[in-house]
A = this chain, B = another copy of it.
Amino acid sequence: MLLGCTQLMYAQENLNFGRQKEIISPQTNPDGTFTFRLKAPNARKVEIQGDFLVSKSNTPPTQEMKLGTDSVWSYTSAVLPSELYSYSFIVDGLKIRDPNNVYLIRDVSSVVNVFLVGNGKADLYMVKDVPHGTVAKRWYQSAGLKTSRRLTVYTPPGYEASKGNYPVLYLLHGVGGDEEAWMQLGRASQILDNLIAAGKAKPMIVVMTNGHTSNTAAPGESSKGLYKPIMMTPDVFNGDMESYFKEIIDFTEKNYRTGKTQNDRAIAGLSMGGFHSLYISANYPKTFGYVGLFSPAILPPASAASPIYKDLDLKLEAQKKNGYNLYWIAIGKTDFLYKNVSEFRRKLDEMSFKYDYKESEGGHTWSNWRDYLSEFTPMLFK
């Protein structure tokens, strides 16, 4: 009996391989452009929509694809700046995924195809031949919330083989995210691996939490089953994330070899996670030596009743008096939270609360948050 390749090729389920001419999409061209392809024999109009295209108006940027031979529609991009891009196809008005690109990222209830363009900042987002940290999905017990909850924990290369203690960055997501968001959309483990390998960031543990305390885990990873994800959960602004964050610190410092001083702890987050980082760092005296607010939401709604949100000015005064190494705020010029962040900065200025400020192009985007993480982590634990 000979078990050859032909037999095995038909052995796997759901296999598309070998049955039709291979379509590559997206294809990297030698001149730095990218070609996207879709075989759609009965389509009347095929478009591509993506964040690498230029928008003509307020609508999402879209380009028509051209019908070539074998019913394959294609579009070739301009030479693209280095970035992680996302796109969809639109076939006769219906938005679909690219069936020839298996790389997908979910954002709330949408899934989009992605591709990476190197030779620039997105080199940090790529898996390189450098030592890799370990990424673990691990559950901690929350006594306050009376449930176990899921975390993503990055331990840096060398952690397991060494005996030393490591500093910890607590990295928080926005309102649409969960403990997967910084890994998937944020490329956090790749950024850390590459910055550490280049000697630009200190080896650190990164704990990525789930900021929705009414969920125990990301969609599909809890006993709620395979439900359709929503953005707003009832926990937003109820103060639970901030109040029970101590449990996460305690779990981390008990279960990992960590430093246990203020200088060994950083907290950063984007949007809602920036809001969480602001209030957690203000409510936990002498706990965090480094704070990063990426496009942060600042104030809770007037209806938010938790004591966590009361007396912010007094808490900031105490934080200032207690001292810290870095308080870093970053926002894009066109971010819808720009004005709110400006008002917060004015407050900090008036009280001589020292902070560093980064103003970037663009808005409330993962492109900016990946940039901010790439810029923030090298400043930590020096």
The residues of A with any CB-CB pair to B shorter than 8 Å are 1-5, 7-17, 22, 24, 40-44, 51, 86, 91-97, 99-104, 106-112, 114-116, 126-129, 131-132, 134-139, 148, 150, 160, 174-176, 217, 219-223, 225-226, 228-232, 236, 255, 271-272, 275, 297-302, 336-337, 339-340, 343, 364-366
Query: Within the assembled complex, what's the spacing in Å between the Cα atoms of A114 and B97?
Result: 16
Query: Within the assembled complex, what's the spacing in Å between the Cα atoms of A11 and B176?
Result: 9
Q: Which residues of B contact A5 (CB under 8 A)?
A: 232, 236, 301
A148: contacting residue among B14, B104, B132, B275, CB under 8 A:
B132
Query: Within the assembled complex, what's the spacing in Å between the Cα atoms of A85 and B329?
Result: 46
Question: In the complex, are the beta carbons of A104 and B104 less than 8 A apart?
Answer: yes
Question: In the complex, are the beta carbons of A231 and B91 less than 8 A apart?
Answer: no
Query: This chain: how many copies in the complex?
Result: 2
Report A95 CB to chain B, min CB distance, Å: 7
Question: In the complex, are the beta carbons of A217 and B127 less than 8 A apart?
Answer: yes
Interface of A is mostly: loop
Question: In the complex, are the beta carbons of B14 and A228 less than 8 A apart?
Answer: no
Question: In the complex, are the beta carbons of B230 and A129 less than 8 A apart?
Answer: no
Question: In the complex, are the beta carbons of B100 and A226 less than 8 A apart?
Answer: no
Question: In the complex, are the beta carbons of B109 and A228 less than 8 A apart?
Answer: no
Query: Within the assembled complex, what's the spacing in Å between the Cα atoms of A51 and B14?
Result: 10
Question: In the complex, are the beta carbons of B297 and A8 less than 8 A apart?
Answer: yes
Report A289 CB to chain B, min CB distance, Å: 27
Given A3-B299, A24-B228, A228-B102, the answer on whether A14 and B112 have CB atoms closer than 8 Å is yes
A271: contacting residue among B11, B97, B101, B148, CB under 8 A:
B11
Closest B residue by C-beta to A193: B139
Question: In the complex, are the beta carbons of B217 and A364 less than 8 A apart?
Answer: no
Question: In the complex, are the beta carbons of A132 and B139 less than 8 A apart?
Answer: yes
Q: Which residues of B contact A112 (CB under 8 A)?
A: 14
Question: In the complex, are the beta carbons of A176 and B12 less than 8 A apart?
Answer: yes
Q: Which residues of B contact A91 (CB under 8 A)?
A: 91, 94, 96
Question: In the complex, are the beta carbons of B93 and A99 less than 8 A apart?
Answer: no
Q: Which residues of B contact A44 (CB under 8 A)?
A: 42
Q: Which residues of B contact A42 (CB under 8 A)?
A: 44, 92-94
Question: In the complex, are the beta carbons of A111 and B94 less than 8 A apart?
Answer: no
Given A9-B231, A137-B134, A223-B126, the answer on whether A107 and B24 have CB atoms closer than 8 Å is no
Interface-centre pick from A12, A16, A116, A337 (highest chain B CB count, 10 A): A12
Closest B residue by C-beta to A22: B228
